[in-house]
């Protein structure tokens, strides 16, 4: 299996804080990989490392066979990586269509303006913003802005999409809609790396899960496995004795058959 994205012992330090510590994992093309972990575990930092906002202190990031470690954000975008932000970053005084057109013009395909507008329209339709193409970004609701963030990333026709808490702040109906959209995006051939705190959502969406804690990889595997992993439970519930207890309980029940 050739990995689409490969992180090789990536570390990032901010002054005294080691935000990401010797992290390695790989992503297959077409999979949805969920990234979970307590607050401050380094998830958003990881996204910033992948798309070039930060440069790792050590380690390599390889995308589609190309070493993109330390490349500037706009060059990373050209390779075919797009992302959404936890705190949305709309181009406020531009319309939905214009926002998406920026994504289409300067993303992987580097389209000329007239083709970009068409691609922008398509992307807006996928997320359900096609009825508000000429609305100004600043006039959208928070849900609308989240959809815009996603549409704009999609318009770039990326190979890898980084979703950073795209469900935060949405009501249950909006969440359902968004999950369906994410599935459709994957089905169209886009690989997705998703950070999410909504456990049910991320567990059902992801093919595999990576758990981060204090910048390190705590666990990796299928959602069900990871959910049962004692160390993961301990990290989330915070009780250091819990892991040992749970492990003992598991062994005990295994012994009893």
The owner of tokens 């193409």 is 133
- Does position 190 bind other proteins by CB under 8 A? no
Minimum distance from CB of 159 to other proteins (Å)? 13
Minimum distance from CB of 143 to other proteins (Å)? 19
Is 56 within 8 Å of 47 (Cβ atoms)? no
Q: Work out which of 9, 24, 66, 74 binds other proteins, going by CB under 8 A.
A: 74
Q: Work out which of 10, 116, 124, 127 binds other proteins, going by CB under 8 A.
A: 116
Q: Work out which of 3, 18, 62, 102 binds other proteins, going by CB under 8 A.
A: 102
Minimum distance from CB of 66 to other proteins (Å)? 16
Q: Which helix (H) or strand (E) holds 24?
A: strand 17-27
Closest by alpha carbon to 161, among 189, 131, 138, 130?
189
Q: Which helix (H) or strand (E) holds 44?
A: helix 43-50
Return the residues of window 3-42 that contact other proteins according to CB under 8 A: none
Q: Work out which of 18, 26, 62, 94 binds other proteins, going by CB under 8 A.
A: 94
Burial of 111 (0-12, 13-18, 19+ CB in 10 A): buried
Q: Work out which of 55, 58, 92, 139 binds other proteins, going by CB under 8 A.
A: 92
- Does position 55 bind other proteins by CB under 8 A? no
Q: Work out which of 112, 125, 184, 224 binds other proteins, going by CB under 8 A.
A: 112
| Strands (E) located in 154-215 | 160-164, 191-195, 208-213
Minimum distance from CB of 153 to other proteins (Å)? 8
- Does position 161 bind other proteins by CB under 8 A? no
Name the residue nearer to other proteins (CB basis): 72 or 228.
72
The owner of tokens 């204090």 is 214
How many chain residues bind other proteins (CB under 8 A)?
29
Stretch that binds other proteins, among 9-17, 63-71, 89-97, 174-182 (CB under 8 A): 89-97
- Does position 53 bind other proteins by CB under 8 A? yes
Q: How far is CA 114 from CA 9, 104, 106, 121, in A?
A: 42, 10, 13, 11
Is 36 within 8 Å of 202 (Cβ atoms)? yes
Closest by alpha carbon to 124, among 99, 142, 106?
99
- Does position 106 bind other proteins by CB under 8 A? yes
Q: How far is CA 220 from CA 196, 210, 227, in A?
A: 16, 4, 10
- Give the integer Cα–Cα distance in Å for 164 and 46: 11
- Does position 91 bind other proteins by CB under 8 A? yes
Buried b (16+ CB within 10 A) or exposed e, 171-182: eeebbeebbebb
- Does position 163 bind other proteins by CB under 8 A? no
Residues that bind other proteins (CB under 8 A): 51, 53, 72-74, 77-78, 82-83, 85, 89-94, 98, 101-103, 105-107, 110, 112-113, 116, 152, 156
């Amino acid at each position: 299996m050739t990995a689409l994205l490969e992180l090789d012992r990536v570390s990032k330090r901010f002054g005294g804080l080691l935000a990401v510590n010797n992290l390695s994992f790989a992503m297959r093309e077409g999979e949805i990989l969920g990234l979970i972990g307590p607050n401050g575990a380094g998830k958003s930092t990881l996204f910033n490392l992948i798309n070039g906002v930060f440069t790792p202190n050590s380690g390599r990031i390889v995308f589609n066979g190309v070493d993109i470690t330390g490349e500037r954000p706009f060059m990373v975008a050209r390779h075919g990586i797009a992302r959404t932000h936890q705190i949305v970053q709309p181009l406020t005084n531009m319309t939905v269509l214009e926002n998406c057109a920026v994504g289409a013009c300067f993303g992987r395909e580097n389209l000329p303006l007239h083709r970009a507008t068409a691609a922008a329209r398509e992307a807006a339709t996928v997320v359900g913003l096609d009825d508000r193409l000429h609305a100004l970004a600043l006039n959208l609701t928070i849900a609308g802005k989240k959809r815009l963030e996603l549409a704009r990333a999609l318009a770039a026709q990326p190979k890898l999409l980084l979703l950073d808490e795209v469900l935060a702040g949405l009501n249950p109906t909006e969440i359902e809609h968004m999950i369906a959209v994410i599935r459709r995006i994957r089905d169209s051939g886009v690989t997705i790396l998703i950070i999410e705190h909504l456990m049910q959502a991320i567990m059902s969406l992801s093919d595999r899960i990576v758990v981060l804690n204090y910048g390190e990889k705590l666990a990796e595997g299928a959602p069900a496995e990871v959910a049962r992993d004692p160390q993961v439970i301990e990290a989330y519930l915070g009780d250091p004795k819990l892991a040992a207890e749970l492990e003992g309980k598991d062994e005990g029940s295994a012994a009893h058959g």
